[in-house]
Amino acid sequence: MNVARPGMVTSPHPLASAAGAAVLASGGTAIEAAVAIAACLSVVMPHFCGIGGDAVWLVADRQGRQRCFLGIGQAAETLPAYGSAIPLRGPASTVTSACAVDSWGHALAYSADRWGGTQAFADLLAPAIALARDGYVPSRSQQFWFDFRHDEIPQWRGFAEHFSAAPGALFRQPGLARSLSLLAEDGYRSFYDGRLAEQLAEGLAAAGSPLRATDLAATRTRDEAPASLDYRGLTLLAPPAPTQGLSTLAILGILSHFDLAALPPTSPLRYHLLVEAVKQAFLDRPLIADPDCSEPPPWDFLDPQRLAAKAAAIDPARALPWPHPYQHGDTVYFAAADEQGRCASVLQSTYFDWGSGVPIGDTGILWQNRGAAFSTVPGDRNRIEPGKRPFYTLNPGIALKDGNPHLLYGTQGADGQPQTLSVLLSGLIDHGMTPEEALAQPRFLLGKTFSDSRDSLKIEASLGEAAMGTLAALGHEVAPLPALSPIFGQAGAIRLTDADSVSGAHDPRGEGDAIQCQRPLPE
């Protein structure tokens, strides 16, 4: 039997990966597979993402086309009078519209126009609708984050009746099944100006959200060119502002001035350089904001001379003090590469685990709290304004080799995303690791987190006591955490080679997987 070149999907949940793999096996494009995955993850990982949230896409192909789809909801046109800060949960945090579903539709239009995609939106949603209607056994991750918020959940009005699940029993979401079915019947814009939008506008108003029907109708995905940076002969692509993709690229630009390949993967000096490069890049990060509503930054984040100066500022023998706050957030990363080497690298999120904690009416949709990422400080570049998009942590990546997609990568974890990507990309590129090996490397998190209020450097204990002792001697306040801790998020990676082979994996810290599939060709 003849077969096409293999395709691959990776996601943090086996049911979602299986849905994407089925699309590829039937001849669908990488974008079509990614939409099927995205819809399923909105059902089976409600603690991290959903159709009440946002999504950021990178797509690339072997014809030299690369685009970024910024599915980022904007702030309401009529805002409440916030005090010193925007609440992290509750109705007042539901201040930005949700753009994930619009990004699905935008991506599918691109797939049909540029890649000849033909699969119907309703067919791609069918597996997700079945999972919401018939139920699934919640993952360990879902149960962990439900238990983690045990003391807070009683304060989230209406949440428990929608999202409580008995361990080991099937978890059904009939309201969400009805909402997804409406999208399948009416099309994706039903979320914004159709029957589902009417239900959402009514539910948002009843919950006390400032969002109205006009805010939903105004929600649109931005289609932009990716930001890029050359690293060790590869071209790294990242989403532009208002995302922190610029920070990820800056970190790698700083690291390009060091010979990381000469250092063993678990060398404390390697980790010291990774951490210090993160610090140098993060010093500029407060300048990232919605370019439509803010003055341009005073300098180019990726200017080679600036990155060289930041590399020179790193002291190999001493850590830079770091009393800077850490932003929380959770999301899901997934990716797909089809038989023609066309690729989609995607992050989808409701910001914090369980988003705002506010279910909208009887739609089964949990709304995001992304508005909590705004500032209320006068003069701050990220200060909340009507119609503005917040600073955004989501930054999926694609690396090109000789102009063709070579690596797909991304991770969960808000501020931790660029930090994890520094470890992941250094492993994949500098040390030639397989995706499985790169994802299993010890990780770090810098600064305060919800697991540790100290300004410490959290590192997985698998790095080893001796290496941690050396890092402490360099001035890092090291706080070991268990190996493969869920605190370090879940990442994924796919590698495509010139020999038309493909390999990939999802994070050993979760239950996700990667599936390779080949489509039979006619004899």
Look at 42 and 453; give whichever has higher pLDDT.
42
Q: Distances from the Cα of 210 to the Cαs of 141, 323, 386, 456, in angstroms?
A: 31, 34, 11, 37
DSSP class of residue 95 equals -
518 lies in a domain? no
107 lies in a domain? yes
Strands (E), 327-446: 332-337, 343-349, 359-360, 365-366, 397-401, 404-411, 444-446
Residue 455 has pLDDT above 70, yes or no: no
- Strand-pairing partners, residue 409, are 397, 493
380 lies in a domain? no
Examine the domain organization and report whether 22 and 97 are in the same domain.
yes
pLDDT digit string (tens) for 96-133? Answer: 999 999 999 999 999 999 999 999 999 999 999 999 99
Query: Where do we find the tokens 């929600």?
Result: 219
385 lies in a domain? no
Examine the domain organization and report whether 310 and 425 are in the same domain.
yes
Examine the domain organization and report whether 218 and 127 are in the same domain.
yes
Residue 281 has pLDDT above 90, yes or no: yes
153 lies in a domain? yes
The CATH number for 505's domain is 3.60.20
Q: Which residue among 341, 356, 373 closes a domain?
A: 373
Query: Where do we find the tokens 């999972």?
Result: 131
- The one catalytic residue in 96, 235, 243, 331 is 331
265 lies in a domain? yes
Examine the domain organization and report whether 320 and 336 are in the same domain.
no
pLDDT digit string (tens) for 293-348? Answer: 988 888 888 999 999 999 999 999 999 988 665 555 568 999 999 999 999 999 99
- What number is the average pLDDT over the span 476-493? 90
pLDDT digit string (tens) for 21-52? Answer: 999 999 999 999 999 999 999 999 999 999 99
Examine the domain organization and report whether 37 and 124 are in the same domain.
yes
Within 8 A by CB and 6+ apart from 53, the residues are 98, 100, 348, 349, 350, 351, 355, 367, 368, 370
387 lies in a domain? no
Examine the domain organization and report whether 247 and 142 are in the same domain.
no
Three-state DSSP class for 182?
Answer: helix
Examine the domain organization and report whether 18 and 112 are in the same domain.
yes
Give me the half-sphere count of Cα atoms (radius 13 Å) on the Cβ side of residue 57. 31
Residue 453 has pLDDT above 90, yes or no: no
- What number is the average pLDDT over the span 140-144? 89
Q: In whole angstroms, what separates CA 455 from the centre of its chain?
A: 24
Q: Which residue among 373, 404, 430 closes a domain?
A: 373
Q: Count other C-beta atoms under 10 Å from residue 120's C-beta.
A: 11
Examine the domain organization and report whether 257 and 190 are in the same domain.
no
Domains contained in the chain, number: 2
Give the chain's mean pLDDT: 93
229 lies in a domain? no
Domain of 183 in residue numbering reads as 7-223+330-373
pLDDT band with cut points at 50, 70 and 90 for residue 451? very low
Measured CA to CA, the distance from residue 157 to residue 354 in angstroms comes to 13
pLDDT digit string (tens) for 488-522? Answer: 889 999 999 876 789 999 999 989 989 998 766 54
Examine the domain organization and report whether 32 and 111 are in the same domain.
yes
Q: Count other C-beta atoms under 10 Å from residue 102's C-beta.
A: 24
**Could you confirm whether 10 is annotated as catalytic?**
no
Q: Count other C-beta atoms under 10 Å from residue 28's C-beta.
A: 27
- What number is the average pLDDT over the span 144-157? 90
Examine the domain organization and report whether 494 and 364 are in the same domain.
no
Examine the domain organization and report whether 140 and 210 are in the same domain.
yes
Examine the domain organization and report whether 101 and 29 are in the same domain.
yes
**pTM of the entire predicted model:** 0.95
Residue 384 has pLDDT above 50, yes or no: yes
pLDDT band with cut points at 50, 70 and 90 for residue 450? very low
pLDDT digit string (tens) for 158-211? Answer: 999 889 888 889 999 999 999 999 999 999 999 999 999 999 999 999 999 999
